Structures are given as structure tokens and as C-alpha cells.
Chains A and B, each alone.
Chain A
Amino acid sequence: MTVFGEEQLARLIRALPPAPEGWVRAAQELPLARAELDQIVARAEADAAFRERLVADLEAALEAEGYERTTAVLAALRLRLKSK
């Protein structure tokens, strides 16, 4: 059993400050963005030109089509496109 002193406890609590709120919220909203992600992936499968634009510059391609471009959505979409 580890025995903790007050200073050690303080140091360990301090070692994990909160992650930026926006990052946490974006990651939490991933399931909610799933329908849109599914739609983009389905469209990329059916439309080679759209897929090429996504692969060349994901963020610009999404912006041009009016899709949401949060870091969480971009990360999820990169993964989905890579696995296809």
C-alpha cells in the first residue's frame, strides 16, 4: 500500500489540470456528429471527385461543401476515410 504525504498528494492533483473545455466538448459530441460523418463517407464512396478533394485537403473540401469542421470531426473523418 502506498502512503501519501500531503505534499505528494498536492503534487499529484496538480499534475492533471483540466483539458481545454472546448476539446472535451468536441470529443463528447462525436456520437452526435456520426450521422453527418456517415453521410460524408457515403458521398465520398459514390463520388470519386469529392473523395479526391477530401483526400487532397480535407478541411477546404468540407468548408466548400458547408460541412462542420471541428478538430474532432476532422480526426474522425480522417480515420474513416483511411479505413475505406
Chain B
Amino acid sequence: MTPWHAPPDTLDRFARTPEALDDTTASSVEQHLLHCGACRTHVADAADPIELDLSWEQVADAIDRPTAGAAERLLVRVGLAPDVARVVGATPGLRLAWLATTAILAVAAAVVAQGSGSDAPFLVVAPLVPLGSVLLTFLAADDPAGEAGRAAPMHGFGLVMRRALATLVPTFVILAMASLVQPDLTRGGALWVLPSLALTVGALALATVTRITVATGALAVTWLNLVLAFSLVEGHRVPVADSPLFDSLGQASALAIVVVAGAVLHTRRDLFSALEAT
């Protein structure tokens, strides 16, 4: 600490109206303050306490905000609203692992499709992937021990729905990108969308009456059975994309399931919100 101290009234003026101080005095004070804790305390005491509190509130706000992850920054960069990007991008490790698995599955299906010239692998697997997302979201929402959460799968339903969306949106984006490399884009590019949605919304609706593992498992088995059953037309195997499962009637049925399951979900969601509130 230097033996010399800035005059108290100069420090007061520096604290309250710094722009009014002449340059020479201000420079002297500024240099002195860097080395003198006592004079800094004097400035702090002379400053406006309300302004100081306001400043701290802003700082505290900023450090409490979790830092944006790489995925989140990317989403903001491509134009998503920051709060939406936060929900989608703030992906815990487990879901991140699932998204990686999704991407690998999608790429594998694409590679197989390119090799065999068939879009069957992708069309069969794609609808199962979001089912996995739903299952994972519900399981991740359970406590680590699992018992309490699984005993009451409806608890915090609204929260689970939001988390499910956060995983499902990127899952569908990945699937959509994978569908672009399918061999017959004009015909098969979008065939997977409605069946995938039907299974997803169906699983969520079923989860309101039974456990999520049962709901997703049952739908996955049903889907595979449907694929097998419809791949035989009059005793002959047909390409999956040509099977009645994916024709216009099949697509319409899928859409109907989406609507009905969505309605079920909507009705029961109100019930769960009420439960959640108690």
C-alpha cells in the first residue's frame, strides 16, 4: 500500500460523478486505486448501494444460467429461440447416448439400403427408434433406484412429456436426415413418418394406462408382426415399401392412430396435471 492516499472528497466525486473529474486527477486516482484497498473501500462506501445491488443481481443471474452446450449453441445459431434450444439442447448424458445410437442406427440402415438397393431396413427400423426415445425418457425420469418411479409411472407426467419432446424432436430430425439417403426418395422418403408418429404417440397414450416398458414393448412387437404379416401378399414376399402397411390405406390408418392416441393423451393429460398439482 502506498503511504499517499487520495483526498476523501476526490474519492467521493470519483465514485459519484466520475465523468465530472478532470483527466489528470482522475488518472491519478485510478492508478492509486489499483494499489490501495483502503481507498477502494472508500469509493465502495461512497457509491450508490442500490446500483451495486442491481449490478450483483445481474451477475448472479448470469452465473446461475447454465452455460450453453455445443448442441444448444448450434441450435441458436441456426435460428431456434434460445429457450427452445435450451430444452432441446440441454440433453443429459443418457439421452445424448441414445441420440448417438439413433444416428448410428440410421446411418447403418442407410448403408444397408445403399448396398442392397432396398429401403426395407430403414422403413422397419425407423418407427422403432422414437419408441426407444420414449422408453428412455420415462426410465430416465425415474429415480436412480427405479422402484419409486416405476411404481408410479404417471408421476410428473407433464415434465416427462416435455422431456420426451426434447428427445423426440432431435430423433425425428436424425431420422429425416437418414431418410434422405434412401434409394427411392420419391416413393419411400416420407413413408416412415406417419408409422413412427403412430407408434410414438400410441406409446405415450398407452403409458397412461400401463407401465412404459409394457407399452413400448407391446407396440414394438406389434409393429414387427405387422411388417411380417403385410410383407406376404397372397403368399408372396413383396418389398416392404410396397406392402399394404405403407400404402395409402396403411398411411391413413397410421394417421388415425396418431389422432386417436393424441386425443387420449390430451384427455388424460388433464387428469395427470391435476394429480401433479396435489
* Physical interaction between A and B: no
